[in-house]
Amino acid sequence: MSAMDEFTSEKPGVVKLHQWEKGWQKSKDAGKNPPFHVNDVHPMLSKHLEQLTGGRSGLKFLFPLCGKAVDMKWLADQGHTIVGVEGVEDGVRQFFQEAAIQPTVTDEPSVNGKLYQGMEGRISIYICDYFNFTSSVKGQFDAIWDRGAFVAINEVDREKYIQLMKTLLKPDGRCLMEVMNYDPSLFPGPPHNVPEDELKQLVGGDYDMTLVETLDRSEEKWFSLPWIKTAYYLIKATN
Ligand code: SAH
């Protein structure tokens, strides 16, 4: 049994949005948080925040596939503006409830979904398929925290995802991304194994991609894998 069993799909490694919805529901029924959720501010975000912001304040942050990451509230409390995108509405309801923020909820035809807003508009979360969230919806971003997002999408969508990310970043914008490294013959994901070469190729020559840190997570026995690492990359346009 792995921690992600409630997210298991019919086809190994491919998970559609309705299956994520079921996974959220199963965790809730069991009185638990989803297996990917981190209860506190992500240590790698707080550690590398300065590199992500470039020391600037009042930034516009994007959280793709945001779940109910508490990092959103943490950054909003520091004066940044947060935009999240999440396909499962109940996860977003839980975020606002646990953060003790009363959201306003409206229909959002531009993404074929809904919009939850709180803290005087400093936190906006769109409920929709991420691929509906183009730069025409909310413009471009100074910073993207990509945690559990690129590794969560289906592998066939990787190129589309990175292209979208590039259009969502301002010319001087930066993205901090967490990926997993493990033997994919032993576990289909999500979260998926992302080889550095593949990511480099997708990101392309117009962007710098710097390895910020690698953590050996083998002791945590995630998904019963004999070894697993997380790697953190800073991605920004070359000037
Ligand atoms: N970033 C969050 C959640 C990671 S898990 C965290 O770190 O805790 C991936 C999340 O993406 C899940 O909440 C899932 O419901 C959502 N998701 C998966 N596919 C999606 C899609 N196509 N569009 C929007 N959200 C999606």
Ligand 1: distance of its center to the CA of 57 in Å?
Answer: 27
* Residues of the chain scoring pLDDT < 70: 1-10
* pLDDT value of position 12: 84
Query: Can you give the three-state secondary structure of the chain, one letter per residue?
Result: CCCCHHHCCCCCCCCCHHHHHHHHHHHHHCCCCCCCCCCCCCHHHHHHHHHHHCCCCCCEEEECCCCCCCHHHHHHHCCCEEEEEECCHHHHHHHHHHCCCCCEEEEEHHHCEEEEEECCCCEEEEECCHHHCCHHHHCCEEEEEECCCCCCCCHHHHHHHHHHHHHHEEEEEEEEEEEEECCCCCCCCCCCECCHHHHHHHHCCCEEEEEEEEEECHHHCHHHCCCCEEEEEEEEECC
Which pLDDT score is estimated for 11? 78
How remote is the CA of residue 149 from the centroid of ligand 1, in Å?
6
What ligand 1 atom has the least distance to the C-alpha of 36?
8
Q: What is the mean pLDDT of the chain?
A: 95
Residue 69's pLDDT is: 98
C-beta of 191 in contact with ligand 1 (< 6 A): no
